[in-house]
Structure 1
Amino acid sequence: MAGAGGRAEVSRYLVVGAGLAGAATAWRLAERGCEVTVVERAVPAAPDGSSHGSARVLRYAYAERADVEMVVRAAAGFRELERRTGTALLRTTGALDHGPGRDPRALARAVAAAGVEHELLSAAAARARWPQVVADGEVLFHPGGAVLDAEGTVRAMLDLARAAGARVLTGWALERLQRTGTGFTARSRTGDVVDAERVVVCAGGWLPDLLGGLPLPPGFLAAFPPLEVTQENAFHFPCREEHPHEGWPTVAHGGPGATVYALPGGRDAQHRGLKVAEHHGGRPIGAASARTGAVDAENRARVTEHVRRWMPGLVPEPYAETTCLYTTTPDEAFVLDGADGLTVVSACSGHGAKFAPLLGELAADVATGAGAAPERFRVGGARGGGAGNG
């Protein structure tokens, strides 16, 4: 029954959130023949969330072979999306990793074990090939690294979900989720209602505001890892044309402080330069509802100094800047688990975009009971995973 002035929907599966994780889950569920309704508090890939924009890193360089193999599977999913929707979602650029915080030699062992093409180069060899970057010791290069279009990916996945019968409701902010005799009743802030047998919550930075009110077993909630939402900053720097090079790869530099990542910018920065940011360089805000969108001046100064020192191919004066959200667990591993018909897919810990098509598969397995997520993503499981960026 709908609330006052609201409308009622009935669906077997309800997906809360239409960012990368939610859109991927809806796509995979719908194509398995499941009846799916997606509710989104604003619009898909909303600009105040974690899935907006056109430039994120797809890299294979993780310290654990299992993570590398997950990227391989996810990349196949992106190619499937491109093929089926006729949309260009990946720009292959290659990827560089350098600096003691990245440990290129250890990364090389992991990508080699997974069969990913790569090279381990000396600093001098890397500088000769990419004069726009000052190499900090050995450098790992893998040519399959790419820039992915996050917003375009969300739209492509939702297009395929709709084509398979899914419904997508926008401007639908979850107020309350209750168990019923047949499943769940979800109520929006405006009184709209969706009744569903099973629910998948992909709320990103809004999860801290929702988690305690979800009808999950007390033991599950007690074991849920703490979530930290941070407002991150990203800056776009123009290229110096006088520095000839083969083209810009993505770059991850692990220095004595934070890891700084850089990647060719997308349409939201006029494709003019590189997007550069500190990984986990933002300030804690508690939940997405506290996001201000104000760029941190100290963070801007640190990133600009990094560009001046390590990226001579860029002009160290940002021409554009923005903020985004990370929702992070203490070990930076994802959460993908559930109980009694309610699945939670969060947090993506600042490096989930590259895994989106695969996360949808895993979430669909958990929600339908067809399979379980990897143990390290389960609440109370043997958690742990590679730290990532972008």
Structure 2
Amino acid sequence: MGTQTDHIIVGGGIMGLSAAWQLAKRGERVHLIEQFDPHHSRGASHGSTRNINNAYHEGFYLDLFDEAFALWRELEAGAPEPLLGLHGLVTQGDEAVVLAAHEALVARGADVALLTPAEATARWAGMRFAGPVLLGRQAGIGYAARALDALEAAAVSAGATIERRARVRGIDASAERVRVEVEGADGALRTVEAGSAIVAAGAWSKPLLEGVIDLPELTVTEEHPAHFAPRDPAHVWPSFNHMFTPDQLDERGGNVYGMPSPGEGVKVGLHAVGHVVDPDQRTFAPTPEVRAAVREHVSEWFPGLDPDTGVEMSCTYTSTASGRFVLDTVGPLTVAAGFSGHGYKFAPAVGRILADSATGAALPPAEFRLPAHGIGTPEGSSPTRL
């Protein structure tokens, strides 16, 4: 006998759990299917920390950030531990990028400041600065592992069902309702049926939806940031971005991001430089080139870190050509994909967008819908199931 529900969610990472929370607290019946155990290291949602970074100049990202921030606080109010650590985030490097973000944030009344290198060094002696430095004070880190637990607890408390160690083997959205074939933890196959399904499966989204929905190119890469030990435990650290000009990127490979991770050191990573992988056939090992490039950056820009102490971690990016997310509904299916290594901080707001789209309450922002990625939206794809 198959399972009947209102909404199926495929994928129990930060986006799938955010959607489950948003739907369940509206009274919708939700069944989330996740192939791995909690806090697994196979995707993009694991680890202790992520940046809460508002250094954007585009209004649609800043709108999303503001909504997500309020929802993080709402979720945090019911969690046993803090979910945000707002020690500030600094952005330096490409002056045009720094000044554009500063201008956009000032126009919104955000709590930001533009510092000189000397002013920044006086605050954060473990770092080296050059050019204007944007400080965002309502920024810092999100405690990623805590957030996963808090979202799952909130969703389950509101009535959602979470099924783990279960793999989706097929999706049929040819009728008004969605039928999902699931291989359970016991190996038995069964069907789950619902009025809508949200696919938020990270690196597995494209293969799951092959032949079901036309998606833009989604490139899955394996990325390897590393934690480095501070030389002086008295140093304080912000979260940070180092944005390079296009000609510098040709030489360096990627922009740099990072943050303090309590108990692990300071995380430093190159953005979107990893090798293309099959998510089921990963090595989890960094390439010598990426390993050397991260250490070179630490040696040049972080005098307060020991570059010989790096301990790599592995995660995946699933990226679009533009770096913009894919959020849209086609018939009874809603897709959330292509978060391109910068989606975490927006997760609660993305969950609200997915819930609205799946229930027919509202479309996602135009910047994230399929036509914005060059994919024509089939007739009748607007979410009209009120």
Q: TM-score, normalised by structure 2?
A: 0.90
Deviation at 1:339, TM superposition (A): 1.1
Tell me, in whole angstroms, the C-alpha distance in 1 between the residues paired with 2:129 and 2:88: 16
**Alignment partner of 1:192: what SS?**
strand
Change (3 A) 1:167 1:300: same
**Alignment partner of 2:111: what SS?**
coil
Tell me, in whole angstroms, the C-alpha distance in 1 between the residues paired with 2:95 and 2:280: 32
Tell me, in whole angstroms, the C-alpha distance in 1 between the residues paired with 2:295 and 2:199: 37
Is structure 2 residue 71 aligned with structure 1 residue 80? no
* Equivalent residue number for residue 347 of structure 1: 338
Residues 182-240 of structure 1 show CA distances to partners (whole Å, capped at 9, x for unaligned) of: 512111233132111110000101112212143x4xxxx1xx22100000001110001
Deviation at 1:319, TM superposition (A): 4.2
Is structure 2 residue 178 aligned with structure 1 residue 184? yes
Which amino acid is 1:211 matched to? Answer: L
**Alignment partner of 2:372: what SS?**
coil
Tell me, in whole angstroms, the C-alpha distance in 1 between the residues paired with 2:73 and 2:54: 15
**Alignment partner of 1:85: what SS?**
coil
**Structure 1 residue runs of 4 or more that deviate by more than 6 Å after TM superposition:** none
Which amino acid is 1:365 matched to? Answer: D
Change (3 A) 1:124 1:65: same
Is structure 2 residue 133 aligned with structure 1 residue 139? yes
Which amino acid is 1:264 matched to? Answer: P
Q: Which moved more, 1:364-373 or 1:188-197?
A: 188-197
Is structure 2 residue 243 aligned with structure 1 residue 254? yes
The number of aligned residues is 363
Deviation at 1:179, TM superposition (A): 3.3
- Structure 2: gaps of 5 or more residues: 375-386
Which of 282, 288, 306 aligns to 1:297? It is 288
Change (3 A) 1:181 1:227: closer
| Alignment map for 1:217-228 (pairs within 5 Å) | 221=214, 224-228=215-219
Change (3 A) 1:123 1:344: same
Is structure 2 residue 276 aligned with structure 1 residue 284? yes
Change (3 A) 1:338 1:138: same
**Alignment partner of 1:153: what SS?**
helix
Tell me, in whole angstroms, the C-alpha distance in 2 between the residues paired with 1:32 and 1:80: 15
| Alignment map for 1:13-92 (pairs within 5 Å) | 13-92=7-86
**Alignment partner of 2:313: what SS?**
strand
Change (3 A) 1:21 1:100: same
| Alignment map for 1:134-283 (pairs within 5 Å) | 134-179=128-173, 181=175, 183-189=177-183, 190=187, 191-214=189-212, 216=213, 221=214, 224-241=215-232, 245=235, 247-255=236-244, 256-257=248-249, 258-266=254-262, 271-283=263-275
Are the counterparts in 1 of residues 295 and 310 from structure 2 also a CA contact under 8 Å? no
* Equivalent residue number for residue 365 of structure 1: 356
Are the counterparts in 1 of residues 176 and 332 from structure 2 also a CA contact under 8 Å? no
Deviation at 1:101, TM superposition (A): 6.9
Tell me, in whole angstroms, the C-alpha distance in 2 between the residues paired with 1:361 and 1:146: 23
* Percentage identity across paired residues of the two chains: 35
**Alignment partner of 1:380: what SS?**
helix
Tell me, in whole angstroms, the C-alpha distance in 2 between the residues paired with 1:161 and 1:102: 42
Deviation at 1:290, TM superposition (A): 2.8
Change (3 A) 1:64 1:41: same
Which amino acid is 1:260 matched to? Answer: V
Tell me, in whole angstroms, the C-alpha distance in 2 between the residues paired with 1:304 and 1:96: 20
Superposed CA RMSD in Å reads 1.7
Change (3 A) 1:284 1:85: same
Which amino acid is 2:9 matched to? Answer: V
Change (3 A) 1:374 1:252: same
Are the counterparts in 2 of residues 65 and 114 from structure 1 also a CA contact under 8 Å? no
